[in-house]
Each structure stands twice: as C-alpha cells, then as structure tokens.
Structure 1
C-alpha cells in the first residue's frame, strides 16, 4: 500500500502538477499502475488524509494544497498521551518550537515595520488585561507569536508554528490553569516585547528560550 502511495505521488511530481491541478482519475491510475480499483481507492484515501490529494465531490480529484492538519492531529494526540506517562513527546514538541522561534526572532525583528511593532504592543496590553480570563489570555498569547513571525512572510514557517501551537496549547491546558501563571506569562511577553522594540535580538532569543524552558519544567513536574 505504501509503495502504491509513493507511485501516485511520483505521477504528480513527474507530470509537474501543481496544487489545485486535476489528478488522473481512479480508472486512469488503475490502468497506469496495473492494480485493482479498491487498492487505488484506499491509497487515495490515505493521501487525502495527508492533504496530498483533494477530492471534490462531483468534480474529481485534485492535487492538494499545503495542509499540515494530519501532522497536527498526530502530534497533539501523542503529546497529550505522553502527559499520562513521562511526557517525552510533549517535551520534544516544546523543544522543536523553542529552537524555531529562538533562531528566527532576529530575522523577524529586522523585517518588522512600525505597524508590526504597534500590533505587538497592543497584543501585550491585552494579555495584561486578560490575566483572569484563561481562554482570552491563551488566544492573545497565540496572536503574539503570530505577530512576531508574520513579518518574515514565510508561509511554511507560519503553518508549522500553527501546528506546534495547536499541540502546545493542549499541553499547556494540561499543566497550567491559574491566574498567577497567566499573569507571569503576560510579564514574560512584555519582556520579550521590550527586547524586540529595542532591537536586542540576542536578548529576545534568550527570553523566548527561557519562556519555553519554564513550560518544559511544568511538563516535567506534571508527569513526575
């Protein structure tokens, strides 16, 4: 089955098809690959779940657009399951996100406009006012990190960060609940903001890294 999935992906690549382009029909794939229709259909279902193939009922099959939903669901499930044991997968997710954000904050600062910086200021002000509202505080935390890296105009990066955020948010729900935690989180983001506004790239990177260190400690405490 996996070999057949690879064969279908090779057809897409060899024909130079782009996202949104029509795919060969099931019948054409059966004829070209020399396998049964049910086998092709099952392989297409897997590729559809991965976002490689898109099925539009009544129109046919098309090459999928970038879609990391399957990755997000898998990471989220295993990270949350790991919180019931040693938390290794959850810690891995935090480590990868920490590495990405800490490494890219410098280029992000260089790319920021005055409007970008003002949006960050408003976001942190909102976080400071929402410390008693866990859902609102988490939403603004998410927005802060989107605003930080949006100026890079890197679509893949933003999609990856969205994947990590969805996992990270579930992890945080499992280990953080209190108003003091939300208040401390707002303070940390204000410190990051100050470093960003001052153009202090190394300090901003260190603060981001420390921010994730604290969450890692929370996971370890929750699973010890």
Structure 2
C-alpha cells in the first residue's frame, strides 16, 4: 500500500516561508533593533526582502506566534519582549500528548527540569545570602501551613523553586525554569495523584523542607540528591498513568 506524502509544491512553499522567517529575523539583527523597537512597514519589508505582501504576512503571523514580533493593530509591528509562553505551550502539548502512549516526552521534560535544578543548586548556594535563604524558608513555611489546612500550595511551590535559583541572577535561566515549572504543573494535573487517589500535601511540604535544610546547612551534595528525589513522585505517577 502506498503511503501518503507531502506534495513537493507544498514542501517547497513551507521551505520558502521558513527561509523568509529567517530573513526577517536577520533583518532585525542587522538593523540592531531591540525589544519594543518598531519594525519597518509591510510595504518596506516587502521591498527589502523581495516578496509579496501575502507571503510576507504569513511569515509575520508565524513570527508573532513564536514570540519574535508583536503586531499591534493600528500601531504597527514591533520586536517582541522576552516571552516564553509559546515555548511553554508547545512543550506542554507535547508532554500531554505523549501521555496517550508511553509518556516518553513527559518523562523527558521532567528529566530536563530535574537536571537543571539538581545540577545548578550548588552554584546557587555559593552566592546565596541570608535574606535569600530566609525567602526560601518563608515559601516552605507557607507550604506547611497550607498543607496543614488541606490546601494545595501551587504558588508557594513555584515561589520556592524560583527563590532557590534567584541568587544566580540569570534571567534566561529563571525564564527557562519557569517554562519547565509550568509544563511540570500541567503534566502533574493531567496524571493526577496516582494510584493513591490523592496527593499527600504534608509529605510534599516535608520534601521541600528537607531540601531547604540541606541548602541552609551548605551541603551541596545532599541538596542535589534531595532535589533529585523530589521528582520521583511525578515520574511514578506518569508511569502509572500511561500503564492504565
């Protein structure tokens, strides 16, 4: 039986659009435009790039979806500020889709977040001051209080992980960790609490307390180990979910 294939004409059109998108990004870089700066008008871009307006608009829509440019109707086009929403949405979709099969991509996304956090905690501890350490403990205390009341502590959890790596003063890293945290939470919600039927909030808060203690005591190896173990639960729940 013959397999269906993408028509050559369509493939060529897609390749041309990708090339045009690359040309537009090159133009932004060559003209040294920064986030918030206006782009040339559609007419100017069409002339500069040698393409028709309709073809140009298709590429501009893709670049808008990717977070490269902003199109403000009535005002024009601008270089977009840093925005990782598209990346988070794409990775979340891939992870959730994989749960219908073996869950491989969902597990890989957990692996990436685990590797980032356990691998960088030592560097963060090297430059962490007392105020930053206190902010981490404050997030733990909030988790413990909400767990005692039977309340989920999603925001406190996010704050804890943000505060752990804030001392590195690396905006790109923080943004990427934010992406993986959002993906992680979506997958966590999708797979539920596993065979137990409910999530042990107090145990989860305890795990975060233990991570904090290792950090406060300056034990890098133990902090890394405990961060690694922190992800065992979600990995088990993914495995259980795809096995059902």
Q: Which bracket does the TM-score occupy, shorter chain normalised?
A: over 0.9
What residue is the counterpart of 1:174 in the other structure? 190
Instruction: Give me the whole-angstrom Cα distance separating, in 2, the residues matched to 1:163 and 1:15.
Output: 30
What's the CA shift for 1:21? 1.6
Would you say 1:218 and 2:237 are equivalent positions? yes
What residue is the counterpart of 1:109 in the other structure? 125
Instruction: Give me the whole-angstrom Cα distance separating, in 2, the residues matched to 1:111 and 1:61.
Output: 41
> Radius of gyration: which is bigger?
2
Q: 5 Å matches for 1:20-59?
A: 20-59=36-75
Instruction: Give me the whole-angstrom Cα distance separating, in 2, the residues matched to 1:176 and 1:114.
Output: 36
The partner residue of 1:206 within 225, 235, 241 is 225
What residue is the counterpart of 1:62 in the other structure? 78
Q: Equivalent residue of 2:200, what SS? A: helix
Instruction: Give me the whole-angstrom Cα distance separating, in 1, the residues matched to 2:82 and 2:143.
Output: 31
After the TM superposition, which segments of 4 or more aligned residues of structure 1 sit over 2 Å from their partners?
56-59, 174-181
Instruction: Give me the whole-angstrom Cα distance separating, in 2, the residues matched to 1:46 and 1:8.
Output: 11
Q: Equivalent residue of 1:54, what SS? A: strand
Instruction: Give me the whole-angstrom Cα distance separating, in 2, the residues matched to 1:214 and 1:26.
Output: 51
Shift of the 180–15 alpha-carbon distance from structure 1 to 2, 3 Å rule, reads closer
The partner residue of 2:31 within 15, 19, 23 is 15
Aligned length: 222
Instruction: Give me the whole-angstrom Cα distance separating, in 2, the residues matched to 1:23 and 1:210.
Output: 48
The partner residue of 1:183 within 190, 193, 202 is 202
Gaps of 5+ in 2: 1-16
The partner residue of 1:76 within 84, 92, 95 is 92
TM-score normalised by length of structure 2: 0.87
The partner residue of 1:160 within 153, 176, 179 is 176
Gaps of 5+ in 1: none
Q: Could you give the per-residue CA deviations for residues 150-179 of structure 1, whole angstroms, max 9, x where no partner exists?
A: 111111011111111111001111234466
Q: Could you give the per-residue CA deviations for residues 10-31 of structure 1, whole angstroms, max 9, x where no partner exists?
A: 1111122221222111101111
What's the CA shift for 1:144? 0.5
TM-score normalised by length of structure 1: 0.94
What residue is the counterpart of 2:151 in the other structure? 133
Shift of the 64–113 alpha-carbon distance from structure 1 to 2, 3 Å rule, reads same
Instruction: Give me the whole-angstrom Cα distance separating, in 1, the residues matched to 2:164 and 2:128.
Output: 8
